[in-house]
Amino acid sequence: MTSEINNAIEVLVKGGLILYPTDTVWGIGCDATNEAAVKKVFALKQRNDSKALICLVANDAMLERHVEQVPDVAYDILDLATKPTTIIYDNPQGLAKNAIAQDNTMAIRVASDKFCQYLINKFKKPIISTSANIAGQPTPKGFSEISTPILKGVDYIVNLQHDKKNGPPSSIIKLANDGTVKVIRE
């Protein structure tokens, strides 16, 4: 696993795209602080750049560095979650401007997958995570269903978990600084 992490980081540092297993589905990833890299993700997915992306962090400390104010209820939600949970936060900071939604929010998930945690910890920055498909196409159920344009469009494919079937997509919850909680996807 160490060589895969090192290879992926080498690509991320250069602003490249990786294809990697996450705690939910296979993802296209890049340095979430690099606008040029984020632009490449939108281009590869043929996705409208007004659509929001998800960002993975390694732990609570990294989350707190990239969100102006993490509401206390966020920690309760994450502690009680029975599956990967993405939370949309107000006022993200230190992330690429084109990764942040037009309403100045960012969907962030604390990674639960060991590979992702190690990768992000060693990279020391959040990583974009978006499903490995062209916009509007079905999300692949596993590595074998990822389309050729995606496979050829990334700079590095992590050589782990190719036989693993995807887990369910994450829950998505929007938290406002005023304490408002809205479930976007269960």
Element (H, E) at 163: none
Residue 73 has which token pair?
Answer: 């209820």
| Strand locations in 4-43 (E) | 18-20, 27-29
CA angle 149, 155, 161 (to 5 degrees): 80
Spell out the per-residue pLDDT of the chain, length 186, in tens. 799 999 999 999 999 999 999 988 999 999 999 999 999 999 999 998 888 899 999 999 999 999 999 998 999 999 999 899 999 999 999 999 999 999 999 999 999 989 999 999 999 999 999 999 999 999 998 899 999 999 999 999 999 877 777 777 888 999 987 778 898 888
- Domain interval for residue 165: 2-185
0.85 exceeded by the pTM? yes
CA separation for the pair 148, 151 (Å, rounded): 5
Strands 171-175 and 85-90: parallel
Residue 15 has which token pair?
Answer: 């602003």
CATH (domain of 55): 3.90.870.10
Total number of domains constituting the chain? 1
